Structure formats: structure tokens, C-alpha cells
Amino acid sequence: MQSTARVVIIGGGVMGIGLLYSLVEEGWTDTVLVEKGELTSGSTWHAAGQCPSFIANYNLAKVHAFSNDLYARLEAMTGEATGWHATGGIRFAMNQLELDHFKRVEGVAANIGFRMQVISPEEIRRINPFVTTEGVLAGAWTLDDGYVDPSSACNAMATAAKRKGGTIVRRNRVLGIERLPGGDFRVSTEQGDITCEHVVNAAGCYADRVSAWLGVQTSYANMKHQYVVTGPVKEFLDRDGEIPVMRDPYCSSYYRQEQKSGLIGIYENSETEEAWREQGGPAWDSENELFPAQLDRLMPFLERVMDRMPIFAEAGIKKVVNGAISHTPDSNPLVGPAPGVRNFWLATGTGIGIAQGPGCGKYLAQWMVHGDAEINMAGMDPRRYGEFCDQDYASAKAHREYWDMYRLIPPGEERPEGRPAKSTPLDPVLVAKGCVFTEGFGWERPKWFSATGPDEDETFRRTNAHPVVAEECRAVRERIGIMELPGFTRHEVSGPDAEALLNRVCANRMPKRTGGIILAHALSDGGRFITEFTITRMAEDRFLLLSGASAYHRDQDLLHRAIREGEDVTIDNVTDDWTTLIVAGPRTRDVLAGLTSADLSSASFPWLTAQEITLAGRPVRALRVNYVGELGWELHCRMADAVAVYEAIWKAGEPFGIADFGLYAMNSLRLEKSYAGLGVELTNEITPVEANMLRFVKLDHEFRGKAAVEKVLASGATTHLVTVKVDAVDFDIAGGEPVFAGERVVGVTTSGGYGHATGLSLGFAYVDSGFDATGTKLEIMLLGDRRAAEVIPASVYDPDNLRLRA
Ligand SMILES: Cc1cc2nc3c(=O)[nH]c(=O)nc-3n(C[C@H](O)[C@H](O)[C@H](O)COP(=O)(O)OP(=O)(O)OC[C@H]3O[C@@H](n4cnc5c(N)ncnc54)[C@H](O)[C@@H]3O)c2cc1C
């Protein structure tokens, strides 16, 4: 076996093989995949092989689309059978919410290009004459998917990868990984050591243990999933052709033809025991392992399947497959850099890896080879989790995800599992005021304040929260609003070389004066967004960096890795010590003035400056910035002071009509100001040129990604971020909807909502060149309905920022 390689992939399941395939396609042929048993002998071999293209997440839908495309052509490419059955699939809607969901996915399909039709129960029965459709409102019929034989398809991918230079070493367990002083890794295996530049953990149910060798926490739950295969079904024997893969919320099941038998897989929504938990994980010599059948757990669901497909009832059960499956807390895979260890990557954590493996491999390979993927990877990036995502948290969330596999989660639903992972002393105060929380990187954050309980209408349309949020927005626009937003990632960067470091990392220049604040973006070598900082110069050689909660690991790694040898810089992550109170609205100065001796006038405390002041007797870092477009301050105080500061402001604010507000209101308010969001509008696919963020890029200094930005500037962007208003009825832009000019799809929305102060349904979209001018008339597909839309100037509310500067 070779002793050096550019990349070592640990694990020969569909995730590892899918990555190997794409890495060699990208030209990184010096890649070795090491598998302890035979290829696919982990979870992959026993999978049922279904590959749905019906996915509401725009980026994951692209992952699935690539897998389906590759499976369909793999046999012709390699000459090896893959068992690809292009049966298509039908998913049932049993209520209006699910039907609306279909319409949303139809929009994703129109964008990505997979075929999908919403069909009637009669049409469902025409396509599958054996199914009963009682209670079914409609079906989502996807025509470009099907199922594959996982082992054959993986072996075909492996053959294709080997032909182009990739290497696979089977029957060779990786025993450990060590980081060498120069930055390379030593991967110790049963057959010797390999020194390499990159390591990818694609170890499936063993991934947590492989990560632990490098001190990395990788949290998911190892669970069990079962499907049954019936005996031969007479009606299948009597006909050619196959029924589509059926996906049915009524029985929380999928069912299809397996040759002339039936195959039925169940996501039982009852307590599932975790595979191997009692032994601390699978044994290293576990191979092609199945667990004993647990039919009793499936019975209530199987009975329902028999209602649906009475022809299965006579066939009897021939085989039960009970196999290991891993699930993450949000059911998305873990694909991307591991936190804290440069060039250590994850390609794991998928509960539907057959559908996702090749696609994940494609985009991870792009990321590794080119520095960025061409799709937004934020939802798959392993760094979306932090230490809070320990085994208990991951397990609680993952189980809920598993049970809810076929239950549509309404957009406003908050599920309690694993919560609260992180809370602040103020939370009980806010709970008493009717605060409905949502989770961000483990933190509980106010979403809206309800006088009638936490439940929101189960709909994609505007809910009972809508009028309440309107009042929260009115308070901020007309009086004063207050909101605690904990979890900002906070780094203090100090030392003689701090400024040089930050100027190198950021496309903007550091503020010159102490107390100055800038918005700054760190870009990749390709000039695309990595992160967004609000940077305050606290002293000559000390800067405070604030960024989004989920940027915690990303920013920490980014900053530490940017330090050059010999530079004198200290970087402290002080995230957990502080919380933030956002106070905004035209009466803010009047309210705060009574609580501090600091002069809050614009002359002494202008917009985009910060001061360390005493407020309500507590030390507070007051930043005159906000994300809602009003006179206001972000007040950063110590966790222990949060209640005192909040209560003092509340008391002083009562005569002025102070109100609590939450993230729903903030979304409405920021849309009226066209404030783009990191990970949504500003992503790893996009440079500041496309995002119209050049005002935050200073090309007169050297920074990472500058050459790439200049290149895009010279050649001209082909897609452009625009603000749109849409003629919505009761459903606003949610993101991922197609934008049409006539019959042509010319763009995609990223986020949206209702602007309560302006009375406009607003959103962001990336549109092709030629469709970005103000006044361009477009159409946006909202819940299956094409609604008139128009490109409008950015910042429809207070475009000159007069209120911010007041
Ligand atoms: C009953 C059942 C049905 C399913 N049906 C479907 C379906 O229809 N569609 C779908 O998309 N998904 C399905 N799945 C899920 C699918 O099987 C998994 O998501 C997928 O196989 C995960 O692939 P993986 O590559 O991450 O993991 P694995 O296939 O487990 O691969 C990991 C590999 O790493 C190797 N490894 C681990 N540690 C080491 C080490 N130290 N050294 C060397 N090698 C190591 C293991 O031996 C293993 O081969 C199903 C799962 C089950 C249980």
C-alpha cells in the first residue's frame, strides 16, 4: 500500500465512494479510500436504495438531482449493472398543509429541472392500480427518480473512480489519525501508515470515533431502521412494469415493488432503541451486520400499509431487514470541514445516503479542490453544530427527526427535544411575557410574543402570529422595541498586529478611530463570502468582532489560521460571557438617556460608533447599529447583568410605549431595509459583486479573495441580488422559489416576508443579468401560483437612513 497520498477517505460506503468518484473527476487522483471490510459493508449494502428527488430544501434538492442523474448513466459509463429502476415516485398529501408543501416543492423542481406533477387521487390510481387513496388529497409525482441497488451502484462508482486513478484499499482498518507538526496527517492503518494532506471521515456509524482521534466532536445518533420484503405478489407477477415508489404519511412508510414482491419501509413514530448504544458503538469488526427483526414495532404501521395496498396482505412477509442508520439533529448530512482541524473533512451523518452520497461527494469535492462549492453548503456544514450538540442532544433531536420523517413540520412549529441547550438569565423573564422561542446554534431566541399561547397556525400561509408581529414592528417603527439576541459569536482580537491581520482577512478596511464600527466580510480565495463581521475598534490595538451565532467555529478557525508566523496577535472567543439587548425605535434615546450619564446625542454618539458606558449601573458596550433601520443601540452586557439592564430599560420605556419584539419582526424590519443575511443571501456561491455589497469592499488594500473579486468585476457578474416586491395574497416569499420572466426561469428567491410598515410583501432574489434593473416586471411562483413581482430599489423604507442617523 502507498505511504503517501493527497487525500485519505476513511470509509467505503456510499458517502466515501461518492466522494472518491468526484475527487478524481476534479483531478485529485492521488486519493486513497480505506475500508475496513468490503465496500458497502456498513450501512450501505442493506439500504432499500430509494432516491427521491422530492426535496423542499433548494440546495439539498441539487444534491439529490446529481445523484439521480449519475445513477441513471452509471451503467452505460462503466458497463457494470447498477440496478437503477427509473420508476419515479408518488408522495401523498393528506391535508392542505401537505398540499401547499407540494406546491412549494414544485417551485424547487422548476428551478432545478426535475420533473414533478401534482396529481389527483384518480391519477394516482391509474399509475398504481393497487393502491387505495382514501383521505388522499393529491400526489406529488416525481418522474426522474427511482431506486438503485446500493452495492452494485457503489461498485460501479468505485470502478469509474479507479479507472481515472483513484485507489481503494479494502480489508484495512484505520487505527488512528495523528496531526504532524508540518500540518499533514499520519493515518495509521492495519497495512501501514499513509501521510496525507487531507483526511475525510466517511465512516458512517463510526464517524464519531474517527473524529475523536483528532479531538473533534461529531454528533449524530446511530439508530435502527427496518423494511420488510413480502412474498411474491400475484398481481405483480401478472403484469409488466413497476409501480412507482410510494411515500405515504398515513402509514409513515414507503412501499414499492421489489422484483415481483413488495418492499415496505417504516419510520415508526414510537420510541426506537439506538443501535449499539449499550456497547458504546458498533464493534470494529462489525460487517454486513443486521439486527434481529422487531416486527412488533412495525405492526400498527404495517396494518395501515395493508389498508393502502391490500395486495400485500396475501403475500406474507418473507424477510425483515433491520439495519443501522445514522441521523443528525436536523436530518441534513454532515458535509464539509470539521471544526478546529484544518484539512479534516466530514462526509457522514446521512439518513438517506443512497440518495445523497454522489451529490454530497460532488459538492464536497468542489469545496476541497476549489475552496468553494457551487451550491450553498450552509445547511450541510458540520460547523453548524457546536459543543452544545452532545450525544444526548443529538440523540433527542435525531429520534424526533426519525419519527417525523413523513410528518410535515409546519414552518412555525417548535419541537421541544434537546431544549434548552443554551439559555440566558433573561429567558424566564421573557417566558412570563409570552415569549415564543426558537433555537439558534443552541441558544433560545425570542421569535414572537404571544398573549394566547405558543402555538402557531399549521400553515405555510400567514399565521396567527402575523397581526401580533405587525404590532411588534409598529412599536419599533413608531416608539421603541427591545429584544434580547443572545449568541452573537464574539472575538476580541488584540495586539500590535491585530489591525494588519484583520485588514488582510476582511474586504473592508478597519475603522481608523477608536469607537468606529464597520461591516466587514471575510472572503474565500475565490472571493466568495465566508463570514460577516461587525467590527468595532475598541482601542488602538483591540477590536471586537461580532458575527452570527452559527459562525462560531468557522470564524474561530478563520481568524486563528490567518495569523502569520511572528505576528503578535491574541484572539479570545468571549461568546458565552455576553448577551445582547437590541433597543431600537424613535424614542430610544429618550428612554436610555434617563439610565446613563453618557451623552447619547448624535453629535457625541453618532451612528456607526461604539462606547463603553454605564447603563442602569452596569457596564455596557453600546454599539449604535442595528438590523432594523431605526435609531437604536445594540447593548452588549455581561450575562449576569442582562436581567437588571432589561428591567431598567423596560421600566424607563413604559411611558414611551416600549414593547418586546422577536425574530419574526426583525425579519420584516430588515427586509424593508434590504439587509442581506449571511448564509442566505451572502453565501459560499456568491462574491460581493453579485450581492451588490461592493460598498463594503475596499480594493485599495490587499485582502484575501481580492484578485477573484477583481476578476468578477472585470468580466461582469451574471447574477445579481435584487429586492423585489410581490403581489402576494397570504403567502410571502420563503426562499427557493423560482423567478420567471415570461416562461423562462431567470432567478431564485433567497428569503422574504411581509413588510408591516410599508405594507409590501418583500424578498430578495438572485436574477440573471438583464433582469436586475429597478422596475423590471417578473413573476414569482408562490405556492404554485405565479404572482406578479417587480424589482424595486434597495431599502424601500427610509432609503437615506435618516432615521438611523437621527
Ligand atoms: C433498512 C435501511 C434502509 C435504508 N434505505 C435507504 C434508502 O432507500 N435510500 C437511502 O438513500 N438511504 C437508505 N438508508 C440509509 C443508508 O443506508 C445510509 O444513509 C447510507 O448507507 C450511509 O452511508 P455511509 O457511507 O455514510 O455509511 P456506511 O455505508 O456505513 O459506510 C461507512 C463505512 O466506513 C467503514 N469504516 C468505519 N470505520 C472505519 C475505519 N476505522 N477504517 C476503515 N473503514 C471504516 C465502515 O466499514 C463502512 O463501510 C437505509 C438504511 C437502512 C438501515
Cell of 673: 431595509
Closest atom of ligand 1 to CA, residue 34:
43
Q: Which residue's C-alpha comes closest to atom 10 of ligand 1? A: 352
Is any ligand 1 atom within 6 A of the Cβ of residue 174? yes
What would the pLDDT profile of 236-286 be if each residue is shown by its tens digit?
998 999 999 999 999 999 999 999 999 999 999 766 667 777 777 899 999
Q: How far apart are CA 132 and CA 138, in angstroms?
A: 12
**Can you tell me which atom of ligand 1 is nearest the CA of 355?**
11
Q: What are the angstrom distances between the C-alpha of 485 and each of 430, 491, 530, 680?
A: 12, 17, 22, 19
pLDDT band for 639, please (50, 70, 90 cuts).
Answer: very high
pLDDT in tens, 477-486: 999 999 999 9
Interval between CA 348 and ligand 1 midpoint (Å): 9
Instruction: Write the CB contacts of 615 (distance below 8 Å, at least 6 apart in sequence).
Output: 592, 595, 596, 598, 622, 635, 637, 645, 648
Angle (CA) 10-11-13 rounded to 5° is 155
DSSP one-letter code for 674: T
The Cα 257–Cα 85 span in angstroms is: 10
| Contact 43 CB / ligand 1 (< 6 Å) | yes
Torsion sign, CA atoms 320, 324, 329, 333: negative
Ligand 1, from 9, 20, 44, 332: best to mutate by most atoms within 8 Å of Cβ? Answer: 44
Note the pTM of the prediction, 2 decimals.
0.97
Query: Does ligand 1 have an atom closer than 6 angstroms to the CB of 204?
Result: yes
Summarize the confidence of residues 28-48 as an average pLDDT.
98
Q: Is 58 exposed, middle or buried (0-12, 13-18, 19+ CB in 10 A)?
A: buried
> Which pLDDT does position 280 carry in this prediction?
79
- Give the Å distances, CA to CA, from 229 to 312, 388, 598: 10, 40, 74
- The length of the chain is 806
Residue nearest to atom 41 of ligand 1 (CA): 174
Q: What pLDDT, in 10s, does the model give residues 506-558?
A: 999 999 999 999 999 999 999 999 999 999 999 999 999 999 999 999 999 99
Question: pLDDT at position 271, please?
Answer: 65
Predicted confidence at residue 273, as pLDDT, reads 67
Does residue 300 have a cis bond before it (omega within 30 degrees)?
no
Start-end of H helices in 603-656? 642-653
pLDDT of residue 269: 78
Kindly list the distances between the CA atom of residue 103 and the CA atoms of 92, 94, 600, 710, 737, in Å, as whole numbers in the listed order: 13, 14, 50, 40, 10
Written as one string, the DSSP assignment of 194-210 is EEEEEEEE--GGGHHHH
Cα distance between residue 381 and residue 377, in whole Å: 6
* Mean pLDDT, range 145-166, rounded to an integer: 98
Assigned C-alpha cell, 549: 451565532
| Cα atoms in the 13 Å half-sphere on the side-chain side of 517 | 19
Residue 294 in contact with residue 17, Cβ under 8 Å? no
**Ligand 1 centroid – CA 346 distance (Å):** 14
Of 163, 202, 169, 161, the C-alpha closest to 24 is 161
For ligand 1, whether the C-beta of 253 sits within 6 Å is no
Q: Percent of the chain, pLDDT > 90? A: 98
pLDDT of residue 62: 97
Question: In 214-320, where does DSSP find H-type helix?
Answer: 234-237, 295-308, 310-313
Q: How far apart are CA 482 and CA 630, in angstroms?
A: 12
Contacts of 344 (CB under 8 A, 6+ apart): 177, 185, 198, 199, 201, 211, 214, 216, 337, 338
User: Is residue 709 within 8 Å of residue 715, measured between CB atoms?
Assistant: no
Ligand 1 midpoint to CA 44 (Å): 4
Q: What is the mean pLDDT of residues 757-766?
A: 98
Confirm or reject: Cβ of 346 under 6 Å from ligand 1: no
Is the Cβ–Cβ distance between 63 and 360 less than 8 Å? yes
Residue pair 130/235 in contact (Cβ under 8 Å)? The answer is: yes
**Pick from 91, 122, 131, 84: nearest CA to 233:** 131
Question: Among 8-12, 80-84, 219-223, 416-420, whose mean pLDDT is lowest?
Answer: 219-223
3-state DSSP call for residue 427?
Answer: helix
What are the respective helix, strand and coil percentages of the chain, to the nearest 5? 30, 30, 40
Structural contact between residues 658 and 475, judged by C-beta atoms closer than 8 angstroms: yes
Mean pLDDT of the chain: 96
Contacts (Cβ under 8 Å, ≥6 apart) of 714: none
Ligand 1 proximity of 348 Cβ (cutoff 6 Å) = yes
Q: Which of 352, 380, 401 to mutate to test the pocket of ligand 1 (most atoms within 8 A of CB)?
A: 352
Q: Whose CA is nearest to atom 51 of ligand 1?
A: 47
Residue 210 CA: nearest ligand 1 atom is 41
Q: Give the mean model confidence (pLDDT) for residues 684-701.
A: 97
